[in-house]
Chains A and B, each alone.
Chain A
Amino acid sequence: MLTLTCPYCGIKSDETELSPGGQAHLVRPDVESDDEAFESYLFLRPNPKGVHFERWRHSSGCGKWFHAARCTMTLEVFGTYSAQTSEPPEHIIATLDERRPNWRQVPE
């Protein structure tokens, strides 16, 4: 069972109290982008076996969206953080660098 701590109300919520919101920190190509960029945004997402940044909503709780960094292979949770950010905060990156030194490498 996946348990995430909501950064807004501090409650440790299990998966059944949360709603998944997909990949976090996506950047939508703007109107001047070409079709390839848009295709890549829509369909060609990297799906590494390892570190993922995800959006979650505390739907059976305070109702707020937040972000979580976790490993999809071991279900290890590296941390949760506010959704009011466009990139992972420093303390999450520091944890990842320590626990998964190769996390930035995109697999083939």
Chain B
Amino acid sequence: MSDPQTALGGQTASGLVELSEATPRGMISLRGDLNDATLKSSVEKLTGTEFPGIGQVSAGQQSAACWMSPDELMIFVSHQERYEALTALRDTLTNQHVLIEDMSDARAIICLKGDLCRDVLGKLTPADLRASILPPGRLRRTRLGQVPAAFWFRDETKAEVLCFRSVAKYVFDLLEMASSGPPLR
């Protein structure tokens, strides 16, 4: 099988924070009725974590479920297991109106590491980044510069930015620029 190619080939940069493109990750977009019990249990079974509440990321060891909108979830699984996960979901959710699609190659993930993640992101987005509003485990869909993006904090020093693959270079350059220069404080 051919090797997975991420948008930026694992590009890295360092400045106020350490930037790196994430290793290939399985991303499955699931649209449907998020209040449905079968849908909830099949997502929980797949990710091994609780079903996410509004705006939450429910993260396990290898996988996670992110609440994207009232009818949409983004499910992270390991890149190797994405087809199995896709099949498992499709086999379970047969009697309802759902959309299950492999988005692994359509999205890019950029990881931020360091104490100044909130400061760097704050230069690029109108989102309220205070820890009381956006604690770790909460996903914020917004824009970075001119393009839509989403981000969440794994913990206070690790953040992940999720964007369309087509704008990955732009987003990385933005983050690199925001991350360069002297320390803020």
Tally of chain A residues near chain B (CB < 8 A): 15
Q: Total A-B pairs in contact (CB under 8 Å)?
A: 38
Contacts of B68 in A (CB 8 A): 62
Interface residues of A (CB under 8 A from B): 8-14, 16-17, 59-64
CA distance A36 to B169 in the complex (A): 53
CA distance A59 to B68 in the complex (A): 12
* Given A9-B54, A10-B55; A16-B126 close (CB under 8 Å): yes
CA distance A31 to B39 in the complex (A): 42
| Contact between A11 and B140, CB atoms less than 8 A apart | yes
Interface residues of B (CB under 8 A from A): 54-55, 68-70, 72, 126-128, 140-143, 148
Among candidates B54, B70, B128, B142, residue contacting A60 with C-beta atoms closer than 8 Å: B142
Please, could you name 19 A-B residue pairs with CB atoms under 8 Å apart, sorted by A?
A8-B70, A9-B69, A9-B141, A11-B55, A11-B141, A12-B128, A14-B126, A16-B143, A17-B126, A17-B127, A17-B142, A17-B143, A59-B148, A60-B141, A61-B69, A61-B141, A61-B142, A62-B72, A64-B70
